[in-house]
A and B are shown apart, each in its own frame.
Chain A
């Protein structure tokens, strides 16, 4: 079974630019989650999709972040315009049902300079 795939693995952009991160969950996993880890901090929840619907987006830091999940398959997370404090590792995870442990992707390391 293919795991959770994220790309790019690394991205370096200038402040004010736009970046789009992509996540392909495990096939058949309705639940897709975005998390972020800023250096020295714990992994923090951003949002949760059930199929194509946003179940919980309480962790999204502000309206510069936009997440979509087209047709309930892959998901994108766009940051526009990027700020320095957006730097960190963005993880995507999926699970077949709520209450189950998540399978994480390898993450996208975003650096805003």
Chain B
């Protein structure tokens, strides 16, 4: 069974620090990787996608992918209290012909 593992947290970081969120996946042929942010009581919101090994930066967010280690991470620079949310890692394989598999999410708390 394909699995996506995340530390549930909470991960607490001070305002202005770098938050590092990690995710591992079991399906070696996974092709597409996504990070979603979910505020309490709201729907998941797509914030990053990454498809090839290496880093991808978008504003304060950087996604990192290492397919050999089956590992994907999300770095949030200059963390703000508004970044406090649950971050969900999602993976799909087979060139996207299979549905996204989600991790349980990591709860991030940015302390002002």
Residues of A within 8 A of B (CB): 33, 35, 41-45, 48, 56, 59, 91, 97-107
Using known A-B contacts A43-B102, A59-B99, A100-B96, determine if residue A106 contacts B42 with beta carbons closer than 8 Å: yes
CB-defined contacts of A33 to chain B, threshold 8 Å? 99-100
Q: Are A42 and B103 in contact (CB under 8 A)?
A: yes
Q: Which of B12-20, B44-52, B66-74, B75-83 contacts A (4 or more CB under 8 A)?
A: B44-52
Residues of B within 8 A of A (CB): 4, 31-32, 34, 36, 42-46, 49, 88, 90, 92, 95-105
CB-defined contacts of A41 to chain B, threshold 8 Å? 104
Q: Are A104 and B43 in contact (CB under 8 A)?
A: yes
CB-defined contacts of A103 to chain B, threshold 8 Å? 46
Least CB distance, B92 to chain A, in whole angstroms: 7
CB-defined contacts of B32 to chain A, threshold 8 Å? 99
B95: nearest chain-A partner, CB-CB: A99
**Cα distance, A35 to B36, chains bound together (Å):** 15
Could you write out 30 A-B pairs with CB less than 8 Å apart? Answer: A33-B100, A35-B102, A41-B104, A42-B104, A42-B105, A43-B44, A43-B88, A43-B102, A48-B99, A56-B98, A56-B99, A59-B99, A91-B44, A98-B96, A99-B31, A99-B32, A99-B92, A99-B96, A99-B97, A100-B49, A101-B46, A101-B49, A101-B90, A102-B46, A102-B100, A104-B36, A104-B44, A106-B42, A106-B43, A107-B43
Least CB distance, B88 to chain A, in whole angstroms: 7
CB-defined contacts of A98 to chain B, threshold 8 Å? 95-97
**Cα distance, A91 to B38, chains bound together (Å):** 13
Q: Are B34 and A101 in contact (CB under 8 A)?
A: yes
